[in-house]
Amino acid sequence: MFRNVAELIEIAESTNKKISEIMIEQEMEFTGKSREDILAQMDKNLEIMEQAVERGLEGVKSVSGLTGGDAVLLQKYIEKGNFLTGKNILDAVSKAVATNEVNAAMGTICATPTAGSAGVVPGTLFAVKNVLNPTREEMINFLFTSGAFGFVVANNASISGAAGGCQAEVGSASGMAAAAIVEMAGGTPDQCAQAMAITLKNMLGLVCDPVAGLVEVPCVKRNAMGAANAMVAADMALAGITSRIPCDEVIDAMYKIGQTMPTALKETAQGGLAATPTGRELEAKIFGVPLQKGD
Amino acid sequence: MKYRSVFDIIGPIMIGPSSSHTAGAARIGRVARSLFGRQPKWANISFYGSFAKTYKGHGTDVAIVGGLLDFDTYDERIKTSLQLADSLGVSISFHEEDAITDHPNTAKVVLGDEDGELELVGISIGGGKIEITELNGFALKLSGNHPALLVVHDDRYGAIAGVANVLAKFAINIGHMEVSRKEKGKKALMTIEVDQNIDDKVIQELSALPNITQVTKIVD
């Protein structure tokens, strides 16, 4: 069983296997389930992700009315063709947003690694799918590679916004996605780890400050940028760029930053954007609470 | 290692919006229901930390009640669980607590009917994964990810060996085990996570052992 990224890479390299394969084998060993059962379970998750993206691209609105419809706006913008960044990156952003808009509307999603950060992994997967034309099995493998890196973060740091801030949620999701993109694009296990490290470094310190305590503002747009971050970091790693700080040490830094982060910035809706005048006003409007609450 | 399976990370399939505050809460409710063994007539639910601050926005209240009604994390009925509970005659009350707990996402559920009561404390540690940290005043650590046995017994020598012997006889492997007691020589609780599902026959044999008060199983 691998306990950190270094061990994961070492096992993959010494056995000449992909990270997704190492994760599948560990799951078989841990659960005693057959490979077919494990792949079928992940296939079911993939199906749910696909449906959530589709539903989001049709346009949804959350109960509070704070979020919804941005995925559609972005797809229309891409179709016009006058974008400044790139089609694939915007497609990933749109599909990440689609998933989180469905989540905010209390729709059915697959947590990756959490519900608040559920957009990044499927968003990037269904965008790179159009570029790399993977088989269904390769798409399932994308989720196992994401899962392998998330597994390390969850066990050595945290994937909970209440415990570690948004860096632990969207940060982890983005790193997981970056690593999985690299594997799907034919990169080495080490390049996967580099992509994870590069992504997570750019998410360190990100606080969890949901307006009115709802997983909407800024969560949906953080998933958008998480997807963009993952796409760029994957390209950087595939170009041969490495992280000066090893992946495991970046994860450890994230954990320590989370521990020292004030409670007001860890999913309590008491600080950051939640405590802005507009954030408070929205909260009052949605729940009818007095405005003098907190600071 | 807190997280053992890739499906703790990629999963669960769930109704939004929050894995810790919605799916995790539903799971805490469902474990309470499963331990109680039947639909309760009433439930008092207390939220602490981030749960207390944000439960309305995250649907933590509907999710935990959904769990009490035995709904899974992806069950669409979660959205209307409060109305459903009402129509089923289950009386629910919520309390926002200020007390500082070890984990920011903590919920206490006290539930019951005319035949009994159960008190449980659960924490939601991220990604929908939960742990049960207290049951009827006994400290414990239960992930809810494996079939498990909860055995209330007299704090005497031989009680644990007796239980282990019965499990061995049925070829059931113990993955994790803990013993907790409130006071020396009084009641104690064994929490046993096992790898195989547990037959009712095993429960019957365990219940018949000396010094054993109550045996409950939780299926994963």
User: What is the pLDDT, as a whole number, of residue B219?
Assistant: 67
User: What is the pLDDT, as a whole number, of residue B144?
Assistant: 66
User: What is the pLDDT, as a whole number, of residue A271?
Assistant: 96
- Given the structure tokens 């920011």, which residue do they identify? B104
CB contact under 8 A, A154 and B127: yes
Residues of chain B with Cβ-Cβ distance to A165 below 8 Å are: none
User: What is the pLDDT, as a whole number, of residue B147?
Assistant: 84
For range A129-143, the mean pLDDT: 98
Residues of chain A with Cβ-Cβ distance to B130 below 8 Å are: none
Could you give the count of Cα atoms lying within 13 Å of B70 in the half-sphere of its Cβ?
12
| Residue of B20, B50, B57 lying closest to A214 (CB–CB) | B57
CA distance B156 to A215: 50
Residue B90 distance to chain A (closest CA, Å): 24
State pLDDT tens for residues B116-146.
999 999 999 888 889 999 999 999 888 767 7
Say if residue A99's pLDDT is above 50: yes
User: What is the pLDDT, as a whole number, of residue B198?
Assistant: 86
For range A92-105, the mean pLDDT: 97
What is the count of residue pairs from A and B with beta carbons less than 8 Å apart?
A: 172
Q: Give ipTM to 2 decimals.
A: 0.95
pTM of model > 0.90: no
Residue B98 distance to chain A (closest CA, Å): 13
Identify whether the C-beta of residue B184 lies closer than 8 Å to the C-beta of residue B153. Answer: no
Q: Which residue has the higher pLDDT, A289 or A10?
A: A10
Percent of chain A residues topping a pLDDT of 90: 91
Residue B220, strand partner residues? none
Q: How confident is the model at residue A289 (pLDDT cuts 50, 70, 90)?
A: low
CA distance B6 to A153: 12
Query: Could you count the other beta carbons within 10 Å of the beta carbon of residue B173?
Result: 9
For range A185-196, the mean pLDDT: 98
User: What is the pLDDT, as a whole number, of residue A249?
Assistant: 98
User: What is the pLDDT, as a whole number, of residue B165?
Assistant: 96
Residue B134 distance to chain A (closest CA, Å): 20
* Phi, psi for A294 (deg, rounded to 5): 70, -135
Identify whether the C-beta of residue B52 lies closer than 8 Å to the C-beta of residue B106. Answer: no
Q: How confident is the model at residue A152 (pLDDT cuts 50, 70, 90)?
A: very high
User: What is the pLDDT, as a whole number, of residue A30?
Assistant: 86
User: What is the pLDDT, as a whole number, of residue A295?
Assistant: 39
User: What is the pLDDT, as a whole number, of residue B34?
Assistant: 85
For range A54-69, the mean pLDDT: 95
| Residue of B7, B14, B53 lying closest to A115 (CB–CB) | B14
Identify whether the C-beta of residue A151 lies closer than 8 Å to the C-beta of residue B6. Answer: yes
Identify whether the C-beta of residue B83 lies closer than 8 Å to the C-beta of residue B102. Answer: no
CB contact under 8 A, B54 and A150: no
Low-confidence residues of chain B: pLDDT under 50: none
State pLDDT tens for residues A219-255.
999 999 999 999 999 999 999 999 999 999 999 999 9
